[in-house]
């Protein structure tokens, strides 16, 4: 495999960070935390909907740092399959609804998803907490990535000699982008949770950092039992149906004027 030009992972993060420092035309900051539910409506499978199984694979066997060490060939095959599934998927109305909200808000998307559907729908500011399935990197470093355009095979190495792997944050690995996500949450004027069970940490802890007075919404067909539920305006619908409700909510319309 001939590697395409490498990029530093910090560059897009710096660009996104500037979004909160210089809000566009004084628009208020809408910070949106998205999870698997929004991608599921584009046909992408989730562990959440399969009782912890994905194509009969356990999370522990294909999505952990331990699995990568014990059976790297299986982990690579699994993410090769996921990348191909992602390429077949297209953004849905929920993704485009978030783009529409940029007319009135400085929308910052913090996503737990590793697909590129937010990018393909046209959202401007996106921070991936758990990595990106469009990129790969050496097992030796998180900082340098390469475009992930072909299957990764065991034995294929980066220039530093390390085995190539998907640029994915596996369970048991640190989440490098959580610090900037925490800054976003703390500076939100409006906070929205879409399609996530709020069960995976540290992402689930971001809601604790949102100022108490800030309006908070949650959109999910199955509203999860969370500690802050009494502070959240619940919209118990799939993302594609719930985002139009959000756009037309009186609080959102007033803040976006």
Closest C-alpha to 36, from 193, 148, 162: 193
β-bridge partners, 235: 219
Residues 220 and 196: beta-carbon distance below 8 Å: yes
Q: How far is Cα 173 from Cα 175, in angstroms, rounded to an integer?
A: 7
Q: How far is Cα 158 from Cα 128, in angstroms, rounded to an integer?
A: 22
| Residues 6+ away with beta carbon under 8 Å from 249 | 217, 233
Give the active site residue among 118, 130, 167, 249.
Answer: 130
DSSP codes joined into one string, 149-192: -S---TT-B-TTSPBEEEEE--BTS--TTHHHHHHHHHT-SEEE
Q: Is 6 left (phi over 0), alpha (psi -120 to 50) or beta?
A: beta
Q: How far is Cα 29 from Cα 256, in angstroms, rounded to an integer?
A: 10
Tokens for 168?
């994915």
Closest C-alpha to 34, from 122, 118, 133, 119: 118
| Residues 6+ away with beta carbon under 8 Å from 81 | 55
Per the annotation, the verdict on 130 as an active-site residue is yes
Q: How far is Cα 59 from Cα 52, in angstroms, rounded to an integer?
A: 6
| Residues 6+ away with beta carbon under 8 Å from 2 | none
Instruction: List, by residue number, the catalytic residues.
Output: 130
């Amino acid at each position: 495999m001939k590697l395409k030009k490498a990029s530093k992972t910090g560059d897009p993060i710096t660009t996104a960070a500037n979004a909160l420092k210089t809000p566009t035309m004084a628009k208020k900051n809408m910070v949106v935390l998205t999870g698997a539910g929004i991608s599921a409506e584009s046909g992408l499978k989730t562990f959440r909907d399969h009782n912890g199984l994905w194509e009969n694979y356990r999370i522990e066997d294909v999505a952990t740092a331990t699995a990568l060490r014990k059976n790297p060939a299986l982990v690579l095959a699994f993410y090769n399959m996921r990348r191909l599934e992602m390429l077949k998927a297209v953004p849905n109305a929920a993704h485009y609804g978030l783009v529409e909200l940029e007319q009135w808000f400085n929308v910052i998307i913090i996503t737990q998803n590793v697909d590129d559907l937010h990018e393909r729908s046209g959202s401007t500011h996106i921070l991936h907490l758990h990595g990106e399935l469009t990129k790969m990197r050496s097992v030796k470093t998180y900082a340098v990535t390469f475009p992930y355009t072909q299957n990764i095979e065991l034995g294929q190495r980066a220039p530093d000699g390390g085995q190539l792997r998907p640029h994915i944050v596996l369970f048991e690995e640190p989440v490098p982008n959580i610090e900037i996500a925490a800054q976003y949450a703390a500076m939100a004027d409006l906070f929205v949770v879409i399609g996530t069970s709020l069960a995976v940490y540290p992402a689930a802890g971001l809601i604790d950092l949102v100022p108490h007075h800030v309006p908070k919404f949650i959109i999910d067909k199955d509203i999860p039992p969370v500690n802050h539920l009494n502070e959240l305006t619940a919209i118990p619908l799939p993302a594609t149906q719930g985002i139009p409700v959000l756009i037309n909510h009186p609080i959102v319309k007033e803040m976006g004027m």
